[in-house]
Structure formats: structure tokens, C-alpha cells
């Protein structure tokens, strides 16, 4: 019952214009199905291998977002499964996605991931490099940038994340005004279980929630 109740509560709490992504890292296909039955329409996965197992069981009943660090050697599989890659952070990765999608004749929607707090342990492009990266991606035929994504600090007081979300929103608005060809600022993906309310207040229209749906994460190891 718990997953179902959590989903229901979240869907009632968040504004209509905000898209809820269930972050399914380390969760079983059964748990994911329970969330889907409760009303979840988008599943977020961190690892391609883990996603394959869930996808084999669930398929196109829902949309799939990739929300982890995408390695180039996993792109070929990823572009077949996912509806949106939220974590594009380099031109090399964009080129690989473009190449693989050309073979499928598929245009891949992506979000550009910003490492807004410049944390050494996190992926993402630094704020001052976003514009250059987007301009380099712009001519690619099979990659379509649809917005930005950021992690923000994960733990502690949610208020500590607010300046980072605010800054990401400012970048989002600035790029929107630039009208770079093939670059659309439609989605701003920010906020997780601890910080989603602050993220929404600062303009997020996609939130990625794991713990608040599935409960505390149990690590099973070896899932990459």
C-alpha cells in the first residue's frame, strides 16, 4: 500500500504543470509496477543495465527518462529505450547520441545537465560553459535540446539548494532569450525527494523523486 499512498499524496501536492519522474535506481520491477499502477507515467533510471531489466517487463506502458551519468559505450542501448536523456554534459556525448540516433532515424530529446555548485564529484557542465556547449550541439541533426537539468546539493536543509536552483533558472531564461537554433528551453528538471518543493518554487517543471515514493533505498550492489 505504501508506494501507492506516496504517489497519490505527491500527485495531489504538486502543481498541474509539474512533471513527476519516479527515480527507480535500485528498485525492483515489482516496485516500479506498483508506482505505475498508482499513477506514475515516467520512470527515471540511472543505469542502462538496470533499466533494461525493468523495460523488458514494463515496455512502453510509461515514458523513460535517463537521469544518471551516461557513458558513451552505453549510448547505443540507451537511445533505443529512453524518451528523454536528462544528463547531456559534453559535446562528445552529444556526437555519440547523434551518430547512434542517425542509424535509427530518431531525434533524441535531451536536457543539458549543469553542475551548478561546481562539485568535483558530480557530472554536468559548469554554468559558464553551458552556452558554448549548446551552440556546439545546435547543428546536430538527431539531438534536440529541450531544456536544462541540475542536481543541486543532495542533503541538508532544502533551503540551502535554493540559490543553486535560482541560478539555474536564470541561465534557463537567459538561453531562452538567445533563440539558438534547435535549442528549446521547455523543461527545467530540478529537485529530488528532499528539495522538490523549493525547486518548484524556483521554477522547476520536472522533479525526480525516489525515496518519497519508494522509501529508503536498499543497495544491492553490482547494479551498474
pLDDT over 90 at 2, yes or no: yes
Residue 136 lies in a domain: yes
Q: List, in sequence order, every residue forming a beta bridge with 108; answer none if it has no partner.
A: 143
Residue 10 lies in a domain: yes
pLDDT over 80 at 154, yes or no: no
Q: Enter the DSSP assignment of 86.
A: E
Residue 97 lies in a domain: yes
Question: What is the tens place of the pLDDT at every residue in 25-35?
Answer: 999 999 999 99
Question: What is the tens place of the pLDDT at every residue in 74-100?
Answer: 999 999 999 999 999 999 999 999 999
Q: What percentage of the chain reaches a pLDDT higher than 70?
A: 96
Question: What is the tens place of the pLDDT at every residue in 194-214?
Answer: 999 999 999 999 999 999 999
Domain count, the chain: 1
Residue 219 lies in a domain: no
Is 141 in contact with 101 (CB distance < 8 Å)?
no
Residue 35 lies in a domain: yes
Rounded CA gap, 47 and 64, in Å? 12
* Cell numbers representing residue 33 in the block: 509496477
Residue 220 lies in a domain: no
| Enclosing domain of residue 33 | 2-214
Rounded CA gap, 19 and 208, in Å? 9
Residue 224 lies in a domain: no
Instruction: Assign residue 87 the CATH number of its domain.
Output: 3.20.20.10
Rounded CA gap, 35 and 32, in Å? 5
Residue 69 lies in a domain: yes
Amino acid at each position: 500500500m505504501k508506494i501507492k499512498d506516496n504517489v497519490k499524496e505527491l500527485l495531489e501536492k504538486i502543481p498541474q504543470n509539474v512533471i513527476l519522474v519516479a527515480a527507480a535506481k535500485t528498485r525492483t520491477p515489482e516496485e516500479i509496477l506498483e508506482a505505475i499502477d498508482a499513477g506514475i507515467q515516467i520512470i527515471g533510471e540511472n543505469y542502462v543495465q538496470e533499466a533494461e531489466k525493468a523495460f523488458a517487463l514494463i515496455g512502453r506502458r510509461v515514458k523513460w527518462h535517463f537521469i544518471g551519468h551516461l557513458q558513451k559505450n552505453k549510448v547505443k542501448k540507451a537511445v533505443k529505450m529512453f524518451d528523454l536523456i536528462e544528463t547531456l554534459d559534453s559535446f562528445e556525448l552529444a556526437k555519440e547520441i547523434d551518430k547512434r540516433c542517425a542509424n535509427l532515424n530518431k531525434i533524441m530529446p535531451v536536457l543539458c545537465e549543469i553542475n551548478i555548485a561546481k562539485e568535483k564529484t558530480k557530472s554536468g557542465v559548469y554554468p559558464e560553459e553551458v552556452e558554448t556547449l549548446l551552440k556546439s550541439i545546435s547543428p546536430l541533426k538527431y539531438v534536440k535540446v529541450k531544456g536544462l537539468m541540475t542536481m543541486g546539493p543532495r542533503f541538508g536543509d532544502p533551503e540551502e539548494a535554493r540559490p543553486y536552483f535560482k541560478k539555474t533558472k536564470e541561465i534557463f531564461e537567459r538561453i531562452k532569450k538567445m533563440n539558438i537554433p534547435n535549442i528549446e528551453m521547455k523543461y527545467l528538471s530540478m529537485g529530488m525527494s528532499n528539495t522538490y518543493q523549493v525547486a518548484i518554487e524556483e521554477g522547476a517543471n520536472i522533479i525526480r523523486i525516489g525515496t518519497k515514493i519508494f522509501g529508503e533505498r536498499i543497495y544491492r550492489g553490482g547494479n551498474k
